[in-house]
Structure 1
Amino acid sequence: MSLRIAVCGIHIESSTFSPHLSGTADFEVTRGRALLDRYDWLGDDWAAGVEWVPLVHARALPGGAVEPAAYDAWRAEIVEGLAEGPFDGVLLDFHGAMSVVGRQDAEGDLITAIRSVIGPEPLVSAAMDLHGNVSETLFDGCDLLTCYRTAPHVDVWETRERAARNLVTALGAGGRPHKTLVHVPILLPGEMTSTRVEPARGLYARVPEVESRPGVIDAAIWIGFAWADEPRCTGAVVATGTDAAATERAARELGQAFWDARDDFAFVAPTGSMDECLDTALKEGSPRPYFISDSGDNPGAGGADDVTYALERMLARPEIRDGSARAVYASLFDPEAVARVGHLPVGSPVSVRAGGRLDTRDPGPLLLEGTLEAVADDPDGGRVVSVRVGGLSVFLTSRRMQYRLLSSYRRLGVDVAGADVVTVKIGYLEPELFEAAAGWMLALTPGGVDQDLHRLPYRNLRRPIFPLDRDATFG
C-alpha cells in the first residue's frame, strides 16, 4: 500500500476575554523535515509505507485571539501545499480552541478551506486537545476526530499517533468510517474537569472500553473551552467506527454519562480569594512549599500574564515584605520592565514598575523597589529577571510563559523546596509542580480566564448551557 498523507495544523487555545492578541511572533513554526521530526512513530511498521508530506505547523502558548493576518497566511500556506496533491489523507494536528479576531469557528474555517482544495474523497483525521471545540462544520469536514484523555495532558503525543494510525488503518480498509457527534450542553473550566479526580477520571476511563467494542474505531470526549464566547464552545462526544449502530451507541452512551455527572464536577483543589489562600499558606503549621494558583490570569489558558492583583495582595503581607516568610511570584510578562533592569549587575538596587500593560484591570502596574536577584535567558520566557522585595522573588519575563517546570525556577536561582509560598500563574498544577507542592490552593483571581464563569460577559454561547443555566437539558 502506497499512501500520501499531508501533515499540518495551527495549534493555539484562545481566550476572547483576554486583551492579548496572538501574532506571528508568538508562534513556533515548523516546516519540512523539522515538522516530521516531531513524530517519533514515522518509522514504525504501520507508518513506514506512507509518504508523509509536511506542510506547515504553527504552535503557540495559549493567548488572546489570533491576528487575522497571521492566521490567513498559514491557512493560505496549507491550501497551497495541498494544491500540490493528490493526497489520500490529511493529518490535522491542532488544538481546537483557536479564535481569530472578527471571526467565529476558526477550525471550521480551516477545514472548509482544506476541503475546498482536496475535495470530498481524501480522509481527514484530527488530533485535538480535550479543551477544544467540535462544531458541526469541523465534524462534517473531518472523517476521524480524537483528543487527549488526560488533564493535565500527559498523552499529547500518544493522541497524535492514534490519529495518524486511525487514518492509515481507515485508508487501508477502504470506504469511509461512520461517525456520530453528540453535543453536551455543559461548559466548565479545565480546573473542574481534571482527570486526576472524579468524575472526569471515571468518565475518561470509560473511553478505552467503549472504543474496544466491535465496530468502534475511536471515542473521544471534549470538555470544550470555557473562555471563548462562541456558539461552538460546549461539551462534545465523537465516536467513529466501521458499524453505524455501534458508533452511534458509543457516542450517545458517553454523552449521557457526561451529562449525568454534571453536578459532580468540582475544582481540583481547595479554592478561595487570594487573601484567603494567603491566610492558609502563611498560617503556622501549613505545609511547605505551599503553592497558590493565580488562576484568573493563567497564560496556559490564554490569560494576558500581566495582571498584578495577586502580586499586590502578596506585597501587602507584612511577613512577606519584612522577609520573615520566603515567597516566590511567577510571573509577570513585561518586556519593558525587563529591559530597564536586565542589563544591571546582579545585586543592584532597582525601582521599576511592572505588569498591567496588557490587562489593565486594577491595580495596574506595580512599583517594585528591591534588589536585582538574578538574570537569565529562558527558552520560553526570553530574557527573564528576578527582583527581590523583602522575602519575595518576583519573576519578570520578556515573553509570556508559564512557570510549569522546576528548571525554570532554578534558572533564576530558586529552589521551590526552600520557599514558604509559591504563587504561579497557572490553573491545575502541572506534573512537576504537583509533585513539588506540599500544599495547594486555587485562587479565584480576576483575569481573562476567570474561573468564575458567571462573571464573564458571554453573548454568543449557545444557550441554555450548564452551569450558567440550571434549566439546560440534554437528549
Structure 2
Amino acid sequence: MTLRILTAEISHETNTFNIRPTDLQDFRNRFLLDGASAVAARGAANTELAGVLDTGRRYGWDVTHVISAAAGPGGRVTDDAFDHICAPLMRAAETGAWDGILLMLHGAMVTASFEDGDGEILRRLRAITGPDLPVAVTLDPHANVSTAMCALAQILVSYTTYPHVDFRATGRRAAEVLNRTIHGEIQPQTLRVHRPMLEEANGGRTDIGPMIERHAMARAFEARAGVYAVSINGAFPNADIAEVGPTVLVTAEIGLTQAQDIGEEIADDIWQRRDERLNSYLDVAEAAEVARVWKTGSGPLIIADYADNPGAGAYGDATALLNALLKADVSDACFGPLVDPQAAMILQSQTVGSTVTLAIGGRTAPEFGGGPLNVTGTLKWRGNGDVTGSGPILGGLHRSFGATAVLNVQGIDILIVSIAHQMLDLRQFETFGIMPADYRVVALKSMQHFRAAFAPIAGRIIVCDSGALCTMDYAKMPYVNVPRPMHPLDQID
C-alpha cells in the first residue's frame, strides 16, 4: 500500500521584546514557497524536508508538500501572516485522504493572538483530522515546547546539534518513526518534562559542555525497547510567555512507565547544573581591547556579539561594539552585518571608491546597544545582497540581505544590509569582497551558529554582550507573563 503523507514547513522564532511585528513580507524575505518550489529549492540540501523526502523515497510514500514558510526571528507574527501561511496546510488536510502528516516547525512561534503559535497550527489541524491520525513534528532545540504540542502530535523530534547541522538527519528520524506508527508497529506518545528556567544555562550548546553528556544519555535511552526519540530543548528565553523554558521530550510507546523517568533524569541534570557557564561575555570595551592587541599568525580574532544576534530576534543595528572598535583604533578588521536599510539605500546611489559621510545603525532602539554613528568612509561595494551558502548550515541554500554595501571606516570593512540575518556562513562576507580569513579581526552578529563555519579559520573566538536586545542579562528585560519564580530572574533553592 502506498502511503499518502502530507507535509509542510512553517517556522518562526519569536522575540516578544522586538517591537517590529513579523508580517508576510518578512516571510517572503527569507522564504515563502509553494510545495513544488520548496522541493526544488530545499529538497536536496541540509533541510528537514530533504530528510523526509529521503525517507519517503525509501518507503515509496506519496508525499504532498504544500508550503515552506520561514521568516527571520523577530517580533510577534501578525494574524494575517499566520492565517496566510496556515491556509495551504488546512486546505490540503480538508481535501485529502492522508495516512499521516509531518510538520517541520520551530517550536517558538508567538503570534499576535496566540502565545503558542505552533500549538495553534496543530489545534487547527486536529479540528480537521480528528485526534487519531498519526502526526509527526520536527523541532528546533530552541523550542519552547508546550503541553498542547505534545497532546496534539504523537511524535516530536528535535535537532541534536547546536550549531544546528543535523536538519536532514532529523527529518529522516521523524519520518522513520511516523512510518512505523502508520503501519501499526508502534503506538507512540510524547511526554514533556519541564524546568522553571528561561533557558538551559548554555543555550543548548552541543560542541562542548554538559549537553554532550546529555545527548549521549538520550541516545542510550533510545536504544531501549519502546523508546523512539528523546529530544532535549534548551528553550528560547526571549519570549515573555507562560510556557517558556527547557524541556525534555520522550517519544515512547503509550503506557511505557520508564518514559517519565527518562525525561526527569535528564531534566534534573539540566536543573542541577543551571549555573554552569561555557561562555565568558566581555563588554564592548573589553572586546575592543582584545582586538587592539591581537597579533596575526594563527588566524583572525573572531568577536561574536551575542546580544545583537538577528538569529534571536535582535534588530542587528546595535553600534556599541563597532563604536568601541573604532575608538580603540582597531584596523584590518571586518564587521557585519549592520542592519540599516536606510544607510544601505543611500549607499546604492554612491560611486564605488568615493568618500561618503552618513549615519549608520542604531535607529530602532538606541537604548539597546547604542544609537546611530556618524562616520566617514570609502565605499568598497554596493548592490544586491543575494548569497548562496557553502558551509555546514547554509550549504546550497539561498539568503538575501537586500540592498547591501561595504563601507571602509578607519580600516574596518562594515557590511551594511537591509534584511536581517545572523552570520552563519563565510559566503555571507565573501560574496561582497570580504574574505574573513584574510583579516586580523572579524566582528560578527551571531550566537553559536557562526562557529560551524568560522571556527575553522579562527585564531581565537571571544563573545560579547553589547547590551542589545538579546542581552544575556535577563534582569534587564521587562518580563511580565513568565510564571514566577523563574531562574535566573529569581532565587530558587
Question: TM-score normalised by the shorter chain: which range applies?
Answer: over 0.9
Deviation at 1:147, TM superposition (A): 0.2
CA 1:198 to 1:166, structure 2 compared with 1: closer, same or farther past 3 Å? same
Residues 201 and 275 of structure 2 are in contact (CA less than 8 Å); yes or no, is this contact kept in structure 1?
Answer: no
Residues 46 and 165 of structure 1 are in contact (CA less than 8 Å); yes or no, is this contact kept in structure 2?
Answer: no
Post-superposition Cα deviations, 1:290-346, rounded to whole Å, max 9, x if no partner, equal 1111111100111111122222222222x23xxxx3121102112221111123221
Q: Does 2:246 match 1:246? A: no
Post-superposition Cα deviations, 1:276-296, rounded to whole Å, max 9, x if no partner, equal 111122125486411111111
Letter in 2 for 1:382: G
Q: TM-score, normalised by structure 1?
A: 0.92
1:336 maps to what in 2?
Answer: 342
Post-superposition Cα deviations, 1:28-80, rounded to whole Å, max 9, x if no partner, equal 11222233452445355774422212222211222222122101211233212
SS at match of 2:374: strand
Q: 1:398 aligns with which of 395, 418, 421?
A: 418
CA 1:400 to 1:33, structure 2 compared with 1: closer, same or farther past 3 Å? same
Letter in 1 for 2:93: L
Q: Distance in 1 between matches of 2:321 and 2:54?
A: 48
SS at match of 1:263: coil
Q: TM-score, normalised by structure 2?
A: 0.89
Q: 1:438 aligns with which of 446, 456, 459?
A: 459
For 1:216-365, list aligned pairs within 5 A. Answer: 216-242=227-253, 244-264=256-276, 266-268=277-279, 270-283=280-293, 285=295, 288-317=299-328, 319-320=329-330, 325-361=331-367, 363-365=370-372
1:186 maps to what in 2?
Answer: 197
Q: Does 2:380 match 1:373? A: yes
1:71 maps to what in 2?
Answer: 82
Deviation at 1:251, TM superposition (A): 2.1
Q: 1:195 aligns with which of 198, 206, 211?
A: 206
Q: Distance in 1 between matches of 2:406 and 2:294?
A: 27
Deviation at 1:102, TM superposition (A): 4.3
Percent of pairs with identical residues: 28
CA 1:448 to 1:190, structure 2 compared with 1: closer, same or farther past 3 Å? farther
Letter in 2 for 1:272: L
Letter in 2 for 1:183: H
Post-superposition Cα deviations, 1:417-469, rounded to whole Å, max 9, x if no partner, equal 23222211112233111212211211111222111222211111122222222
Post-superposition Cα deviations, 1:125-183, rounded to whole Å, max 9, x if no partner, equal 11000000111111111100110111111111111221111111111125631432111
Q: Distance in 2 between matches of 1:189 and 1:331?
A: 27
Residues 35 and 68 of structure 2 are in contact (CA less than 8 Å); yes or no, is this contact kept in structure 1?
Answer: no
SS at match of 1:395: strand
User: Does 216-225 or 371-380 show the bigger shift?
Assistant: 371-380
Q: 1:136 aligns with which of 111, 133, 147?
A: 147
Q: Distance in 1 between matches of 2:113 and 2:454?
A: 37
Residues 114 and 120 of structure 2 are in contact (CA less than 8 Å); yes or no, is this contact kept in structure 1?
Answer: no
SS at match of 2:311: coil
For 1:33-182, list aligned pairs within 5 A. Answer: 33-37=36-40, 38=43, 39-41=49-51, 42=53, 44=55, 47-173=58-184, 176-182=187-193
Structure 1's unaligned 5+ residue stretches are none
Equivalent residue pairs, number: 465
Moved >4 Å (runs of 4+): 43-47, 189-192, 284-288
Residues 193 and 267 of structure 1 are in contact (CA less than 8 Å); yes or no, is this contact kept in structure 2?
Answer: no
2:470 maps to what in 1?
Answer: 449
CA 1:409 to 1:36, structure 2 compared with 1: closer, same or farther past 3 Å? closer
2:2 maps to what in 1?
Answer: 2
Q: 1:30 aligns with which of 21, 30, 33?
A: 33
Residues 30 and 58 of structure 1 are in contact (CA less than 8 Å); yes or no, is this contact kept in structure 2?
Answer: yes
Structure 2's unaligned 5+ residue stretches are 44-48, 387-399
For 1:389-428, list aligned pairs within 5 A. Answer: 389-428=409-448
Residues 215 and 246 of structure 1 are in contact (CA less than 8 Å); yes or no, is this contact kept in structure 2?
Answer: no
SS at match of 1:297: coil
Residues 19 and 304 of structure 1 are in contact (CA less than 8 Å); yes or no, is this contact kept in structure 2?
Answer: no
Q: CA RMSD in A?
A: 2.0
Residues 282 and 420 of structure 1 are in contact (CA less than 8 Å); yes or no, is this contact kept in structure 2?
Answer: no
Deviation at 1:252, TM superposition (A): 2.4
Letter in 1 for 2:366: T
CA 1:438 to 1:43, structure 2 compared with 1: closer, same or farther past 3 Å? closer
Residues 151 and 190 of structure 2 are in contact (CA less than 8 Å); yes or no, is this contact kept in structure 1?
Answer: no
CA 1:45 to 1:15, structure 2 compared with 1: closer, same or farther past 3 Å? closer
Deviation at 1:382, TM superposition (A): 2.1
SS at match of 1:15: coil
Q: Distance in 2 between matches of 1:383 and 1:401?
A: 13
CA 1:183 to 1:397, structure 2 compared with 1: closer, same or farther past 3 Å? same
